[in-house]
Structure 1
């Protein structure tokens, strides 16, 4: 198979190779005539303010309840004893979000059963739900939600019984 310069494709390819070699051997050394000014007024990627620091701590259902996102506060929820800061998902977990009933609560049963009903939530003055009646499929579903939350949100605490703190 011979290289034929008579075909337009081969000619174009050879010209491109020469051009690429010339750009490597003799790079452009021209200096810009004006100074770039896109950073003249400061960097635009800096956040206006940083969120307040959130320390890992132990929560009870009563101490977790105020973190429901009302009045612009943080939004926390728990699944199987692990507390997640879901404030970044305010559209979903905030006061008007579709998962708002889980904010500030133990969402284990609701996530396992894929139900948003209030009956899935244990009252905050009751002992934590032991989840003993869940099927293996529901337990796997809950574990899937925990993996999702762990990859997307910050783990900021653990949930224990009201009298354990």
Structure 2
């Protein structure tokens, strides 16, 4: 009789152990593990898409007339010249585009205004057909300020062209 009781206790213990493996919680956990493994190793979903790079910018020669339309109006790019280099400052549209604090420099030569720390219209060259501002009358402190601006622009924005006077532009185009 003792043998029968012992055998029944063994069988009862087996039923409890096997029943605990097939609980709803274990089924849920196994399902989650299988789903995660499947999506990680076997899913054919595409890799995350990177944003499109901006279109390449061709290095060009600009004069005061060809630079002027790039002032950010009507979603145009925003370009600005500093000491003969043309920068694409479109990423800084909030500063250099329409309504920004430096908006009067958009599409223009900003060298004198940046050197003097002035946003006034009288800092801009009025005669677009005349020679470029040589900045010869600026002092050492103003030229140092301008070099600081140039460094900042060179680090932050792309140089996309060269800024020349109308006379130089016509001379370059007549050679071609």
TM-score scaled by structure 2? 0.69
- Could you tell me how far 1:42 is from its partner in structure 2? 5.3
Structural mapping, 1:119-138, within 5 Å: 119-123=122-126, 124-138=128-142
Aligned to 1:160, which of 152, 156, 164? 164
TM-score scaled by structure 1? 0.73
Structure 1: distance between partners of 2:142 and 2:38:
63
Structural mapping, 1:93-104, within 5 Å: 93-104=96-107
Secondary structure of the 1:35 match is helix
Aligned to 1:145, which of 140, 144, 149? 149
Unaligned runs of 5+ in 2: 1-32, 170-176
Structure possessing the higher radius of gyration over alpha carbons:
2
Structure 2: distance between partners of 1:127 and 1:33:
70
Aligned residues: 134
Corresponding position of 1:20: none
Structure 2: distance between partners of 1:126 and 1:97:
28
Task: Pick the structure with more helix per residue.
Answer: 2
Q: CA RMSD in A?
A: 2.4
Structure 1: distance between partners of 2:123 and 2:168:
23
Contact kept? 2:112, 2:124, Cα under 8 Å? yes
